[in-house]
Amino acid sequence: MRTIVGLMLVLLVHGSVLGMPLEIDPDLPQGGDCPLIGSWDGSRPACVVTDYTIADGEIVRVLGGTLDIVGTLTNHGRLETRGTLLIQGFLNNINDVVTFSDGHTVNRGQYFSHFMYSFGPLTNEPGASIEFEFFVENSATMLNFGHIDIGGTYNNIPWNTFENHGSVTIHPGGRIDSEALLLNTGTLDNQGLLENDDVVIDQCGGSISGNPLVGNPAVPAATLTLSTTTAEWCVVEGAAHYDLVQGSLDLLRSSGGDFAAATDICVVNDTTDTSAPLGAPQAPGSGQWFLLRSNGIGTPTFDSMAASQAAPRDPGIIASGLACP
């Protein structure tokens, strides 16, 4: 009996007890088990972790609120989140990190991971870094504004998006298996394998270097910038000409995204220029949207293919009768 009691005391001090995870839950006093791994800030609500090691076989489960890593969290066990995982320090992930569909991860620090299964979005913010060594499966949107090193396999599964607006390096022996949209406006240095089974859109201003893509070639696309008087875009290699349409942002919002109701005018049609003058500024409180397409490469479209786009745009723009011919 003394031996059993002594064993239980050791397990309780360490954290989880044989299948009983440490739960971070803002609906419980002190955020549930938060004081066992950090300090509870109920005003946010957040469990702030300075330094903690999730032991082999131990589970930390974030059921709501934020797990805010400001120091070093080393994961030898399992880290699950249905809330927000905010990395401002260093997440040294040796085992499993699982983000469920009702959770999301924001990296502002350093994220070194062996294994990750992401069913919720992951955002790598400017100045932050992520390094994947073994395996990552992405079942939701990955937004990169910082830097990512891939030394293992990154699996971008169907119906999801990897948007690179920063920099990505695929090291020798590393690979991206892209079975969904990969949108690149930054730099992607492929020294390993980039296999494209869906669509890779490389916007001008971005670059893909190193080994060539395997599978489908990249689709070039223009980047549109606006001032109060002018619309400008960059040259798309292979494009014969460009079309620019304009419409009411207020009508688009009030109609639930109906481009047939919200399209106003074809600003320019079949132009070979890379700029166009805009009309008089709108009245205060109103807004306009602008969409550009290049012609001569594949099927011309006003669709961005990005995760932020809720539905196809072309059918509504055509139905308006105001689209570019």
pLDDT per residue over 57-116, tens digit each? 999 999 999 999 999 999 999 999 999 999 999 999 999 999 999 999 999 999 999 999
Instruction: Scan for tokens 């109701």, then name that residue.
Output: 261
For the 224-319 domain, the top CATH level (class) is mainly beta
Return the SS3 of 69. Answer: strand
Per residue in 198-257, pLDDT (tens digit) is 888 888 878 999 999 999 888 888 888 888 888 888 888 788 899 999 988 888 888 988
Task: State pTM to two decimals.
Answer: 0.77
Rounded Cα gap, residues 68 and 83, in angstroms: 11
- In the structure encoding, which two tokens stand for residue 244, read together? 């620019």
CA distance 307 to 112: 25
Q: Are 255 and 262 in contact (CB under 8 A)?
A: yes
Q: Count of alpha carbons within 13 Å of 317, Cβ hemisphere only?
A: 24
Q: Which of 267, 273, 281, 275 is nearest to 317 (CA)?
A: 267
DSSP secondary structure letter of residue 35: G
Residue type, 268: V
